[in-house]
Amino acid sequence: MTDNAIINISDINKTYQVGEQPLHALQNIKLNIKQGEYLSLMGPSGSGKSTLLNMIGLLDRPDTGQYQLQGENTELLTEEQRALLRRKYIGFVFQSFHLIPRLTALENVELPLMLAGVKPKLRREKSSKLLSELGLGNHLGQLPKHLSGGQLQRVGIARALITEPTILLADEPTGNLDQSSGQEVTDILERYNRNGITLLVVTHDLALGNRARRQLNMIDGVIVTDTRLSTIKIKQYEQQGSSQ
Protein backbone atom coordinates (compact mmCIF):
# COMPACT_ATOMS: atom_id res chain seq x y z
CA MET A 1 0.00 0.00 0.00
CA THR A 2 2.92 2.31 0.58
CA ASP A 3 5.07 1.37 -2.35
CA ASN A 4 5.02 4.69 -4.16
CA ALA A 5 4.77 6.83 -1.02
CA ILE A 6 7.57 9.34 -0.58
CA ILE A 7 6.61 9.86 3.05
CA ASN A 8 5.71 6.96 5.23
CA ILE A 9 4.95 7.67 8.86
CA SER A 10 3.82 5.02 11.28
CA ASP A 11 2.88 5.29 14.95
CA ILE A 12 4.76 8.47 15.66
CA ASN A 13 4.49 9.90 19.17
CA LYS A 14 5.89 13.13 20.51
CA THR A 15 5.47 14.49 24.01
CA TYR A 16 6.55 17.91 25.25
CA GLN A 17 6.93 18.81 28.87
CA VAL A 18 4.90 21.98 29.43
CA GLY A 19 5.30 23.01 33.05
CA GLU A 20 4.21 20.07 35.23
CA GLN A 21 2.02 18.53 32.55
CA PRO A 22 3.26 16.42 29.66
CA LEU A 23 1.72 17.63 26.41
CA HIS A 24 1.02 14.88 23.94
CA ALA A 25 1.66 16.79 20.73
CA LEU A 26 1.47 13.78 18.41
CA GLN A 27 -0.31 10.53 19.20
CA ASN A 28 0.16 7.43 17.09
CA ILE A 29 0.25 9.35 13.84
CA LYS A 30 0.03 7.27 10.68
CA LEU A 31 0.44 9.06 7.38
CA ASN A 32 1.48 8.17 3.85
CA ILE A 33 2.07 10.83 1.26
CA LYS A 34 2.56 10.11 -2.41
CA GLN A 35 4.58 12.04 -4.92
CA GLY A 36 2.63 15.03 -6.32
CA GLU A 37 -0.10 15.07 -3.68
CA TYR A 38 -1.63 18.35 -2.51
CA LEU A 39 -2.46 18.20 1.18
CA SER A 40 -3.76 20.68 3.67
CA LEU A 41 -3.34 20.22 7.38
CA MET A 42 -5.90 22.05 9.48
CA GLY A 43 -6.91 22.20 13.07
CA PRO A 44 -7.06 24.53 16.07
CA SER A 45 -3.97 26.03 17.71
CA GLY A 46 -2.04 23.51 19.75
CA SER A 47 -3.45 20.57 17.84
CA GLY A 48 0.03 19.48 16.75
CA LYS A 49 -0.04 20.68 13.12
CA SER A 50 3.30 22.47 13.31
CA THR A 51 4.90 19.66 15.26
CA LEU A 52 3.91 17.22 12.52
CA LEU A 53 5.17 19.60 9.86
CA ASN A 54 8.54 19.92 11.62
CA MET A 55 8.64 16.16 12.04
CA ILE A 56 8.12 15.66 8.30
CA GLY A 57 10.73 18.39 7.64
CA LEU A 58 13.28 16.52 9.80
CA LEU A 59 13.61 19.49 12.13
CA ASP A 60 12.21 17.49 15.01
CA ARG A 61 12.62 13.87 16.09
CA PRO A 62 9.76 11.62 17.21
CA ASP A 63 9.92 9.95 20.62
CA THR A 64 8.72 6.68 19.17
CA GLY A 65 7.55 5.46 15.79
CA GLN A 66 8.98 5.30 12.31
CA TYR A 67 9.42 7.86 9.58
CA GLN A 68 10.61 6.88 6.12
CA LEU A 69 11.49 9.62 3.66
CA GLN A 70 11.97 8.41 0.09
CA GLY A 71 12.29 4.91 1.48
CA GLU A 72 14.99 5.84 3.95
CA ASN A 73 14.53 5.36 7.69
CA THR A 74 15.25 8.64 9.42
CA GLU A 75 15.04 7.86 13.15
CA LEU A 76 18.64 6.73 13.53
CA LEU A 77 20.27 9.27 11.26
CA THR A 78 22.83 11.72 12.65
CA GLU A 79 22.20 15.43 12.52
CA GLU A 80 24.54 15.77 9.53
CA GLN A 81 22.65 13.10 7.59
CA ARG A 82 19.29 14.66 8.43
CA ALA A 83 20.58 18.06 7.27
CA LEU A 84 21.64 16.45 4.00
CA LEU A 85 18.19 14.88 3.45
CA ARG A 86 16.53 18.18 4.28
CA ARG A 87 18.68 19.94 1.73
CA LYS A 88 17.90 17.33 -0.89
CA TYR A 89 14.17 16.70 -0.53
CA ILE A 90 12.52 19.42 1.52
CA GLY A 91 11.63 23.05 0.95
CA PHE A 92 10.15 25.22 3.72
CA VAL A 93 7.84 28.19 3.24
CA PHE A 94 7.22 30.17 6.43
CA GLN A 95 4.41 32.41 7.56
CA SER A 96 6.81 35.21 8.49
CA PHE A 97 9.06 34.60 5.47
CA HIS A 98 12.34 34.39 7.46
CA LEU A 99 14.43 36.18 4.89
CA ILE A 100 17.86 37.33 6.05
CA PRO A 101 17.51 41.12 6.17
CA ARG A 102 21.11 41.94 5.19
CA LEU A 103 20.94 39.85 2.02
CA THR A 104 19.27 40.90 -1.23
CA ALA A 105 16.36 38.94 -2.70
CA LEU A 106 18.76 37.15 -5.03
CA GLU A 107 21.25 36.33 -2.24
CA ASN A 108 18.44 34.98 -0.06
CA VAL A 109 17.36 32.63 -2.83
CA GLU A 110 20.96 31.61 -3.46
CA LEU A 111 21.51 30.68 0.17
CA PRO A 112 20.43 27.00 0.01
CA LEU A 113 22.61 26.50 -3.07
CA MET A 114 25.48 28.20 -1.27
CA LEU A 115 25.03 25.77 1.62
CA ALA A 116 24.99 22.92 -0.88
CA GLY A 117 28.29 24.14 -2.35
CA VAL A 118 27.02 25.14 -5.81
CA LYS A 119 29.38 27.41 -7.78
CA PRO A 120 28.56 31.14 -7.56
CA LYS A 121 27.97 31.67 -11.26
CA LEU A 122 25.61 28.71 -11.62
CA ARG A 123 23.60 29.50 -8.50
CA ARG A 124 23.29 33.15 -9.52
CA GLU A 125 21.92 32.18 -12.92
CA LYS A 126 19.53 29.64 -11.48
CA SER A 127 18.24 31.96 -8.76
CA SER A 128 17.66 34.93 -11.01
CA LYS A 129 15.85 32.73 -13.51
CA LEU A 130 13.53 31.39 -10.82
CA LEU A 131 12.90 34.85 -9.36
CA SER A 132 12.03 36.12 -12.83
CA GLU A 133 9.59 33.24 -13.23
CA LEU A 134 7.94 34.39 -10.02
CA GLY A 135 7.68 37.95 -11.34
CA LEU A 136 10.53 39.40 -9.30
CA GLY A 137 12.99 39.89 -12.17
CA ASN A 138 13.20 43.61 -11.37
CA HIS A 139 13.79 43.16 -7.65
CA LEU A 140 16.82 40.87 -7.61
CA GLY A 141 19.16 43.35 -5.92
CA GLN A 142 16.69 44.67 -3.36
CA LEU A 143 16.88 44.12 0.36
CA PRO A 144 13.83 42.55 2.04
CA LYS A 145 12.93 45.83 3.74
CA HIS A 146 12.16 47.34 0.34
CA LEU A 147 9.79 44.55 -0.73
CA SER A 148 6.04 44.14 -0.09
CA GLY A 149 4.61 41.19 1.83
CA GLY A 150 3.57 39.33 -1.31
CA GLN A 151 6.99 39.89 -2.85
CA LEU A 152 8.70 38.69 0.32
CA GLN A 153 6.73 35.46 0.29
CA ARG A 154 7.53 34.93 -3.38
CA VAL A 155 11.22 35.27 -2.52
CA GLY A 156 10.60 32.78 0.30
CA ILE A 157 8.97 30.34 -2.15
CA ALA A 158 11.81 30.79 -4.63
CA ARG A 159 14.28 29.97 -1.84
CA ALA A 160 12.30 26.81 -1.02
CA LEU A 161 12.09 25.75 -4.67
CA ILE A 162 15.66 26.53 -5.73
CA THR A 163 17.02 23.16 -4.63
CA GLU A 164 14.24 21.39 -6.58
CA PRO A 165 12.85 19.56 -3.55
CA THR A 166 10.32 16.75 -3.85
CA ILE A 167 8.16 18.13 -1.08
CA LEU A 168 7.21 21.68 -0.20
CA LEU A 169 6.16 22.31 3.42
CA ALA A 170 4.24 25.57 3.81
CA ASP A 171 3.38 26.78 7.31
CA GLU A 172 0.56 29.34 7.00
CA PRO A 173 2.06 30.70 3.78
CA THR A 174 -0.67 33.35 3.42
CA GLY A 175 -1.05 34.11 7.12
CA ASN A 176 0.77 37.45 6.97
CA LEU A 177 -0.60 38.55 3.60
CA ASP A 178 -3.59 40.51 2.39
CA GLN A 179 -6.22 38.80 0.25
CA SER A 180 -4.80 39.49 -3.19
CA SER A 181 -1.16 38.74 -2.29
CA GLY A 182 -2.40 35.61 -0.54
CA GLN A 183 -4.20 34.53 -3.71
CA GLU A 184 -1.04 35.20 -5.74
CA VAL A 185 1.04 33.04 -3.42
CA THR A 186 -1.55 30.26 -3.43
CA ASP A 187 -1.60 30.28 -7.23
CA ILE A 188 2.17 29.93 -7.37
CA LEU A 189 2.24 27.05 -4.91
CA GLU A 190 -0.53 25.23 -6.80
CA ARG A 191 1.20 25.84 -10.11
CA TYR A 192 4.31 24.06 -8.87
CA ASN A 193 2.14 21.30 -7.38
CA ARG A 194 0.58 20.73 -10.81
CA ASN A 195 4.10 20.40 -12.17
CA GLY A 196 4.70 17.51 -9.82
CA ILE A 197 5.94 18.80 -6.48
CA THR A 198 4.30 17.44 -3.35
CA LEU A 199 2.67 20.26 -1.41
CA LEU A 200 1.71 20.23 2.25
CA VAL A 201 0.05 23.39 3.56
CA VAL A 202 -0.60 23.96 7.23
CA THR A 203 -3.29 26.57 7.70
CA HIS A 204 -6.07 28.00 9.80
CA ASP A 205 -7.65 29.43 6.69
CA LEU A 206 -10.57 27.24 5.60
CA ALA A 207 -10.70 28.78 2.15
CA LEU A 208 -7.07 27.85 1.59
CA GLY A 209 -7.34 24.48 3.27
CA ASN A 210 -10.38 23.48 1.25
CA ARG A 211 -8.51 23.93 -2.02
CA ALA A 212 -6.34 20.88 -1.31
CA ARG A 213 -7.27 17.54 -2.79
CA ARG A 214 -6.46 15.80 0.43
CA GLN A 215 -7.44 17.43 3.67
CA LEU A 216 -6.18 16.39 7.08
CA ASN A 217 -7.76 17.59 10.29
CA MET A 218 -5.92 17.41 13.59
CA ILE A 219 -7.20 17.77 17.13
CA ASP A 220 -5.07 17.22 20.23
CA GLY A 221 -2.27 15.46 18.41
CA VAL A 222 -4.49 13.07 16.49
CA ILE A 223 -5.43 13.11 12.80
CA VAL A 224 -9.23 12.96 13.09
CA THR A 225 -10.18 13.16 9.41
CA ASP A 226 -8.28 12.42 6.22
CA THR A 227 -10.51 13.39 3.28
CA ARG A 228 -9.69 12.89 -0.37
CA LEU A 229 -11.82 14.92 -2.74
CA SER A 230 -13.04 13.27 -5.87
CA THR A 231 -11.75 14.60 -9.15
CA ILE A 232 -15.17 16.13 -9.93
CA LYS A 233 -15.18 18.10 -6.73
CA ILE A 234 -11.71 19.36 -7.39
CA LYS A 235 -12.80 20.56 -10.82
CA GLN A 236 -15.65 22.44 -9.15
CA TYR A 237 -13.28 24.07 -6.69
CA GLU A 238 -10.89 24.97 -9.41
CA GLN A 239 -13.65 26.54 -11.45
CA GLN A 240 -14.83 28.45 -8.38
CA GLY A 241 -11.29 29.56 -7.75
CA SER A 242 -10.75 30.81 -11.28
CA SER A 243 -14.11 32.56 -11.42
CA GLN A 244 -13.30 34.56 -8.27
Partner 1 sequence: MNLADHWLFSYQALARHRLRSAMVLLAIGMGVSSVLLLTSIGEGARLFIEQEFSALGSKMLIVLPGKKETTGSSPPLYGTSPRDLTIEDAQALKNIRTISHVAPIIAGTATVSNQSLSRDIIIIGTNREMFTVRNLSVKQGRMLPKNSETRATPVCILGAKLAEELFKKSSPLGQWLRIGEYKYRVIGLLEQRGESLGLDLRDMAIIPVRSAQMLFNSPALFRILLQLKQTKFETSTIVKINKTIAQRHEGEADITIISQDAMLSSFNKIIVAVTASIGAIAAISLIVAGILIMNVSYISVSQRREEIGLLKSLGASGREVRLIFIISSLVITSFGTLAGLILSYSIVFIIQTNFPSIPLAIPWWSTLAAIFMSFIMALLFSWLPANKAAAVDPILALRG
Q: Is 115 helix (H, G, I), strand (E, B) or coil?
A: helix
Positions in the binding site for partner 1 (CB under 8 A): 50, 54, 57, 59-60, 79-80, 82-84, 86-88, 92, 94, 96, 98, 100, 102-103, 107, 111-112, 114-117, 120, 159, 163
CB of 124 to partner 1, least distance (A): 12
CB of 13 to partner 1, least distance (A): 17
CB of 189 to partner 1, least distance (A): 17
Closer to partner 1 by CB, 78 or 243: give it. 78
Strand ranges inside 19-108, DSSP E: 21-34, 38-42, 64-69, 72-73, 90-93
Closer to partner 1 by CB, 50 or 217: give it. 50
Closer to partner 1 by CB, 169 or 223: give it. 169
Q: What secondary structure does DSSP assign to 132-174, as a single string?
A: HHTT-TT-TT--GGGS-HHHHHHHHHHHHHTT--SEEEEESTT
Instruction: Quote the Cα angle for 196-212-154, to 5°.
Output: 65
CB of 180 to partner 1, least distance (A): 26
Closer to partner 1 by CB, 44 or 120: give it. 120
**For residue 185, which of 198, 201, 206 has the smallest C-alpha distance?**
201
